[in-house]
């Protein structure tokens, strides 16, 4: 029985990376007079590092024109990240980032059926707030019983901390919940906390091998292309009944290429 859904943000609620965070990082580089630009492919490789500030620091290790001292690098990463988050909020407010199809429907359906919901993300709280405020209005936090963000944990995904903290906030055991994720790191984080996880493939993790999901498919908007195939056909999208059915058949945990 699913008591709560735990949502990842970037890649799952919205395709926010390529046209959101990436563009905002590039604007931050420009604003500080830096010649660095992250193209779509390079950003895809950098996404293996979770956390925007951590991503900046990792990229600096391969740039000869980055500050040499660790303290200076950290200060630059902090300032770039602060500016990036501002540009990201601008992009969201301008309508550049849409919720993925089927997401709003499932959030509404879960709320109507009394299933609690939470956010479990490595993203900064300001970015979650910018996105969800734009999509659901200023009282968006009322839709979520718990919201755990990047700054709330000492170690980001794939570390399971974010999920453990969300479970504590909900006062539920892992098997009473279900996570929705898009990346191998997110799946590892959920699994590390023993939370069953369903994967909706996103642009940047379209072909990665995902281990241990209870179901994987192209998105919540369609019943096509899912493994295992959804059985509880009550709509043309993935519904709470489909999630409950996969959750009940959890012995199907396996590796999807």
**DSSP classification of residue 20:** I
Q: Is 239 exposed, middle or buried (0-12, 13-18, 19+ CB in 10 A)?
A: buried
Q: Which stretch binds ligand XBP (CB under 6 A): 7-15, 108-116, 223-231, 234-242?
A: 7-15
* Least Å from the CB of residue 127 to ligand XBP: 5
Greatest CA span in the chain, whole angstroms?
59
C-alpha–C-alpha distance, residues 188 and 152, integer Å? 18
Question: If binding is defined by CB under 6 A, does position 15 make contact with ligand XBP?
Answer: no
User: Is 245 marked active-site?
Assistant: no
Cα-only R_g, the chain: 18
Per the CB < 8 A criterion, the answer to whether 220 and 238 are in contact is yes
Q: Which of 182, 210, 213, 214 binds Mg ion (CB under 5 A)?
A: 182
**Per CB under 6 A, which of residues 159..198 are in contact with ligand XBP?**
186
Q: Residue 117 binds which entry of Mg ion, ligand XBP, none, with Cβ cut-offs from 5 to 8 Å by kind?
A: none
> Which of 8, 159, 182, 242 is flagged as catalytic?
8
Question: If binding is defined by CB under 6 A, does position 124 make contact with ligand XBP?
Answer: yes
Provide CB contacts within 8 A for 37, sequence distance 6+: 26, 29
The residue whose two tokens read 């000492």 is 154
Provide CB contacts within 8 A for 95, sequence distance 6+: 134
Give the Cβ contact number of residue 32 at 10 Å.
12
CB-wise, 4 or 47, nearer to Mg ion?
A: 47
Per the CB < 8 A criterion, the answer to whether 181 and 12 are in contact is yes
Nearest to 189 by CA among 221, 209, 162: 162
Question: If binding is defined by CB under 6 A, does position 127 make contact with ligand XBP?
Answer: yes
Q: Which stretch binds Mg ion (CB under 5 A): 37-45, 161-169, 185-193, 238-246?
A: 185-193
- x/- binding map, residues 80-119, to ligand XBP, per CB under 6 A? -x--------------------------------------
Q: Which stretch binds Mg ion (CB under 5 A): 13-21, 79-87, 174-182, 222-230?
A: 174-182
* Least Å from the CB of residue 210 to ligand XBP: 14
* Least Å from the CB of residue 1 to ligand XBP: 26
Per the CB < 8 A criterion, the answer to whether 222 and 247 are in contact is no
* Contacting positions for Mg ion (CB under 5 A): 8, 10-11, 182-183, 186
- For the annotated catalytic residues, the residue numbers are 8, 10
């Amino acid at each position: 029985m699913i008591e709560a859904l735990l949502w990842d943000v970037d890649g799952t609620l919205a395709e926010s990376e390529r046209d959101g965070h990436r563009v905002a990082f590039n604007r931050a580089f420009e604003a500080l007079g830096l010649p660095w630009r992250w193209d779509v492919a390079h950003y895809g490789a950098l996404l293996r590092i979770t956390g925007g500030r951590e991503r900046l620091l990792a990229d600096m290790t391969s740039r000869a024109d980055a500050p040499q001292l660790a303290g200076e690098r950290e200060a630059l990463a902090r300032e770039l990240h602060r500016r990036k988050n501002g540009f990201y909020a601008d992009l969201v407010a301008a309508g550049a980032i849409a919720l993925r199809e089927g997401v709003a429907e499932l959030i509404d359906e879960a709320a109507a059926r009394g299933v609690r919901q939470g956010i479990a993300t490595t993203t900064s709280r300001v970015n979650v707030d910018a996105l969800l405020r734009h999509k659901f209005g200023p009282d968006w936090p009322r839709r979520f019983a718990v919201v755990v963000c990047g700054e709330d944990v000492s170690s980001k995904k794939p570390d399971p901390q974010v999920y453990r903290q969300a479970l504590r906030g909900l006062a539920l055991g892992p098997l009473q919940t279900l996570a929705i994720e898009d990346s191998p790191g997110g799946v590892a984080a959920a699994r590390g906390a023993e939370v069953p996880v369903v994967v909706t493939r996103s642009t940047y993790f379209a072909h990665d091998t995902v281990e241990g999901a209870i179901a994987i498919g192209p998105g919540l908007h369609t019943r096509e292309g899912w493994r295992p195939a959804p059985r509880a056909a009550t709509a043309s999208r993935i519904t709470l009944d489909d999630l409950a059915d996969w959750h009940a058949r959890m012995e199907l945990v396996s590796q999807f290429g």
